[in-house]
Amino acid sequence: MSGVALSALLGSGLAVAAAAPAGAAPHPTAPHPANTWTVNEPGRSTLSAELDLDSAGELRLAVDRGSAPVLLPGRLGIRTARHDLTKGLRLVKRHDRTVHESYRMTTGKQLRRSATMREATFTFRGADGARLGVVVRVSDDGVAYRYLLNDRGPVTVESEASTFEVPTDAKAWLQPYVTSYETERTETTAGAANEARPGTCTGDTCSFGYPTLFEVGGTYVLLTEADVDGRYSGSHLDHVAGGSAYSVALADGAPVTSDGPLATPWRTAIVGSLDTLVGSTLVDDLAPPSKVRDTSWIRPGVDDWSWLSDGSSPGDYGRQRDFVDYAAEHGLQYTLVDAGWQASWVPELVRYARAKGVDVILWFDWNDLKTQQQRDAWLPKVKAWGVAGVKVDYMYSDSQSTFQWYDAILRDTARLKLMIDFHGATIPRGLQRTWPQVMSVEAVRGEENGQHSTRDIFLAFTRNIVGSMDYTPTWFSRPGRQDSLGHELALPVVFESGWTSLGDNPEGFAAHPVAERFLEQLPTTWDETRLVSGGPGAQPAGDRQAVIARRSGHRWFVGGILAGTSDTMKAPLGFLGKGRWLVETIGDSDGRLRRTVRTVTAADTLAVPTAAEGGFVTLACPATRGRTDCEEPVVTAPAASLTLDPAAVTAGPGQKAGIGATFTLPEGAALHRVRMTVDRDRLPAGWSVTGRDVRAGTLPAGRALDGNWTVTVGKDQPGGEIDVPVVVTYADPAGGKVPPIHVEKVVKLSIPLHGTVYASDQPFLTETNGYGPVERDMSNGEAGGQDGQPLTVGGTVYAKGLGMNAPSQVGIDLQGRCTRFEAHVGVDDETNGNGSVTFTVLGDDGRRLATTGVLRGGDSAVDLTVDVTGVHTLGLVVGDGGDNKNYDHADWGLARLTCAD
């Protein structure tokens, strides 16, 4: 919707896209004298859409392929708070043009895109004089339509009459609608879809989620929507038992309100053979162009992800280093650190990873990034840590407000040059074209939800067609695994995802070195995608298969998966092109993986014996003299060394500290374009650095690069500890358009505590909290970070302090320089009189310095004043008052320390 400018619906009628795409050729025509109008696919008439206006002024749209009907005439129309534009319509004007879209993606099944669509805009007048625009587009892979409303000021859409009519005997592959899109798909018929009584039914009506697949007389139709943003909501399809109609229903049955003029999302049908569907880019073709001009920082790739195989490991710094080491050794671009990470060690992990040529992706609960305040607190912080991107989880909504949140976080991450993966999310609707930093989207019942080989087949022909799919594949060591090793290995080829998060651990991968070699070669972006064989329906032998080929440069990667008994899977190799090709195939053999190599031509057919619930992968490259495999070398970052002198230093406000650094490469090939510097941008305001950057065009092994700088602490700098980063960058030995290797260490610069110091401004040595994180200068709020309210106890508001939830504790380093701690403590008023807590102040070795009795919600704050002379580690502890932790939102209002000057 964004980027579409609508002209006034006055006098001359309605126009779309004031700025037509390059290649658009307008062809205005007078209204057709009949009440039926046809829009044909450009250049030929294979696909056509027929718009019909009946005697009651009701609109219907049908789709034909060739001479055969695919979608029967289905209702069109829309109801707003002001107008009923579903009946009593009459045509005012028709305007035709050809739209050509040519663009490049950063992710997806095909990086370079080109699409030509025939577009007709029909302007209708309603019974009350209001005008409705209906835009119909037809391409070689489908049909789409949208509504245009020219109301000025707010436009409230109450519902759509939009309906897809499918013959009741058409085969159907349907997913009961839930906002996570994590239910299982079922094979049925269009009319019998409700008989299984999925959990999203009310009376005779059941709801189904996009994308929804039907087979009508040998033609496949995949229904979905495109171009949804915060001006609208997502939708799904409602179906009445036994009927042919699948009606568009807005999220939660709620109206949407936007500033007019308004263009609604595209109601979209991808139409054709299964090969057409698998290769279709229609959803992206209908989306607005990229809002990100410079995409050079966006880097798809493979990551190893510890949560699936080792659920507690994201909270273990040492274990995360194991995953970093594995990624570095095998040429993976990323490590994904999921729920459980600690801010105390993530910066060090990022530094460790980047020195090895591995970037870190960091998981977030969306409750920690829900508000602008939360995003402004977290996203610049993790960017400064060196995190490459974020994985955000648990949105679980198609509401308009949630799409407005998507708009906001996409603007924020684009500005900060952070890539993003949406987990626990809605389906992609062209999002990756408009916001190319989106690497993947979950909206799938993936590997973490158990194995189901039939599900895997269905997904290849439904969900993964419309955009990158964060399935998190390949878990060889899964306890009780039901599918074969070959099936697991094939999944990251069959399923496209800009970030592919592999689900096993280093030990699980190491048990299968043949698979490791293949995964080292795996791209996550593709120049071309082809369906080789298979389909969602059961084959004559009773099984289901999908074999998909994807090209990256001069190499083809083929993945085949089987749902059913053992079989010989066949893959015609016509997609290879001319000449002789070297083909490496890895498949199942007596419970292990076996690799074979042969030379073929495009006239050959690959036949791979496959285990039950099995699969295989193939890597093909042009056969040249002396070549025995298709592998490209895995280039890893060398073990360079950066040392700092001193590693820690103390300086007060306005004082200077000297920093020295030495960078060496003990052995190996020389490094190029080397630069060593202090990262001034990450120092607090008011600080300064003198000393030049140190550079070397070439740095051979054994030669040292030395640098010296003087850092001056800002005159207004409060006490505490600041990391001063020294950074060395050099050209990645792998070459190409990859970012430089980043080696970083920090000097711990301590500023002595002095004067009045607020606890909320100090780093925590330790932190535990009974519900969500400890909040600084706000109440505990909910489970997310930065989601509290002003600290308020007994009606008194405190601008500074800590918000906690029992049982909780923080530790603060006082450096032995403070003499007094004071705070106004009590239960925050946000509990509405509920909750009971105790407050305790601890000194070194857990020595109790002060404690309160039980304080209850609604009580006035209690003043705490504690002598902390000589204390190095201060502990602030909240207990639950002897009952449970419910409502135990404890405030340390104006918690402050008096320290030496």
The catalytic residue positions are 393, 448
Q: Residue 319: phi, psi to the nearest 5?
A: -70, -35
- Using DSSP bridges, classify how beta strands 775-776 and 801-805 pair: parallel, antiparallel or unpaired: antiparallel
Cβ neighbours around 755 below 10 Å, total: 11
Q: Which helix (H) or strand (E) holds 380?
A: helix 372-385
Tokens representing residue 772 in the block: 């969500």
- Using DSSP bridges, classify how beta strands 131-139 and 528-535 pair: parallel, antiparallel or unpaired: unpaired
Q: Specify whether the CB–CB gap between 791 and 828 falls below 8 A.
A: yes
Could you give the CA distance from residue 837 to residue 891 in angstroms, rounded to a whole number? 10
Tokens representing residue 222 in the block: 């995949």
Give me the half-sphere count of Cα atoms (radius 13 Å) on the Cβ side of residue 427: 29
Using CA atoms, how far residue 865 sits from 465, 721, 818, 836, 877, in Å, is 64, 25, 13, 21, 15
Tokens representing residue 736 in the block: 């190409």
**Residues near 39 by beta carbon (within 8 Å), at least 6 away in sequence:** 48, 49, 50, 51, 96, 118, 119, 120, 136, 137, 138
Using CA atoms, how far residue 297 sits from 292, 415, 480, 584, in Å, is 11, 12, 41, 33
Chain length of the chain: 901
Q: Specify whether the CB–CB gap between 875 and 813 falls below 8 A.
A: no
What distance lies between CA 801 and its chain's CA centroid?
A: 34
Q: Specify whether the CB–CB gap between 473 and 503 falls below 8 A.
A: yes
Q: Specify whether the CB–CB gap between 423 and 369 falls below 8 A.
A: no
Tokens representing residue 767 in the block: 């932190």
Q: At what angle do helices 346-355 and 372-385 cross, to 10 degrees?
A: 40
Cβ neighbours around 355 below 10 Å, total: 22
Nearest 5 degrees, angle CA 9-CA 12-CA 18? 65
Q: Specify whether the CB–CB gap between 419 and 298 falls below 8 A.
A: yes
Could you give the CA distance from residue 295 to residue 308 in angstroms, rounded to a whole number? 31
With CA atoms as reference, report the closest residue to 758 among 901, 894, 891.
894
| String of DSSP letters for 222-252 | EEEEE---TTS--EEEEEETT-SEEEEEEGG
849, 852, 857, 861: CA torsion to nearest 10: -70
Task: Find the DSSP H helices in 605-749.
Answer: none
- Using DSSP bridges, classify how beta strands 389-393 and 359-365 pair: parallel, antiparallel or unpaired: parallel
3-state secondary structure of 112: strand
Could you give the CA distance from residue 214 to residue 211 in angstroms, rounded to a whole number? 10
3-state secondary structure of 696: strand
Q: Specify whether the CB–CB gap between 571 and 627 falls below 8 A.
A: no
> Which residue, chain included where needed, has tokens 């004007």?
93
Could you give the CA distance from residue 526 to residue 521 in angstroms, rounded to a whole number? 13
Q: Specify whether the CB–CB gap between 796 and 893 falls below 8 A.
A: yes
Q: Specify whether the CB–CB gap between 813 and 405 falls below 8 A.
A: no
Query: For the chain, what is the radius of gyration of the CA atoms?
Result: 31
Q: Which helix (H) or strand (E) holds 491?
A: helix 485-494
